[in-house]
Chain A
Amino acid sequence: MAEISDSGGGHKGGKKRAKKQSTRIDMTPMVDLAFLLLTFFVLTATFSKPKSMELTFPAPLPPDQKVDEIKKGITILLSKENRIFYYEGQFRAADDDKGKKTSLSELDFSQDSKISLHKYLLEKNKPMQDQIKELDAKHKKNLIQDSTFNRLVKERKANKESFTFLIKTDDKATYKNVIDVIDELNINVVGKYVMVDILKPEIDLLIEKIGSN
């Protein structure tokens, strides 16, 4: 037990032992209380601040401005029941001289199925990932400086040859799916992606694929 006892400093046995009764204070209740408070504060403390994902949305185009055709574009369409589809290139309602009618291919969120979004992105974005990995290796060996490294990574990501991903959702897609797709794009160091409104012909194509609602 914690105790305070008077040790009677300089006395050297000269006096009688009449006052030997030590002044003990029982500290148990105080210690109990201290631990109670400690437990309470430990359990109620919230350390972790919420994490967040920074995202910039595109400004709406002025009405008279024409949209440039995206040459290396991949459109990802999200729908109900966690289903995702994609098509590459420009949307074509029917076969024409530039290419065939757009058809959708399905992907999913699993890590190792044949149609995994992760694998698809990994494959599509391979050249850039290799470049960034190379830079990363150099950076780790201190061959290039932090600022140079960041600048080069940015340059690689903005590379014209890399794909631009357009993310579109229909009315039934959930927020979680959107975040999962963006997350997957981030994991695979895709530099260019944007949230865009879905177009009517794309909705029609989706309905064709998954059946109406």
Chain B
Amino acid sequence: MPLPDAKPSTRIYELLKNTDLENITFSEFQGVAKTIFAEQGAEDELRRIVLLNLARLSVVGEWTGLTSAGSSNEFDLQLPGTDTNSGNNNMYIVSRMPGWGVTSSSTTSLGSNEDPHFWPWISPKTGNLTILIDVVSDGTGVLGLAVYSDVGGVPYAKIGGDYSYTFGSTGTGLKTLTPTADVAVERGKQYWLGVVETTNGNGAIRGEYALNSHVAGPAFPSLSNLQNAAFYGVALENSNNTLPAGPITATDFLTNNDGQPRWAAQFG
């Protein structure tokens, strides 16, 4: 008996013919389903995607996660996420916080680059994001920053507007950057900070030491040993001086061996 009022399947069941429910992998299912359009003409296939996914998961095991709050592990680390000191302590130094921040207070100078560089971060709060950077060499050029969504552990698409700092305009020290349009983020969710030199110059901001940084991207397998682990994020070489709107093709990403900016966040 088909789904109520549905026409015969032209894609889902055809492509998965002879596949057992208990043997289908997520990637097989995803490959068949992801190109379906979210349109009325495909509504029957959308219903079948949901039905098949629930059926697939029904044979995986008990749905314990459905009725438990958060992790089943007794260890439940929480990021700092509540302003203290009567609300005066409301700046979150993300590049020093778990899970992608560093544990060392030492910093270095991060010169800008015409190729967009990206580093992952996890938002400690929900709200509209203001970014704070620390200018250490107020030379020339313009620095651009933007926040990207994460899909599969790489940047995907820009969220909201861009942030910008024009070097040589206000001297060294802490700079509060507001975006051209609201950048809405959610507590506990992973994002990527994109940084690029939108106008070439010699200005620099404070950065985290690369040697203190987590590996945040895959390495190429031709390494002769594992001493070199300089894969601290991802970068693009096909988007000079521009932070692309995305979606970004994941296979375009290359190695980013710079430490992330020493940066902080406030939430409106």
Q: Does A associate with B in a complex?
A: no
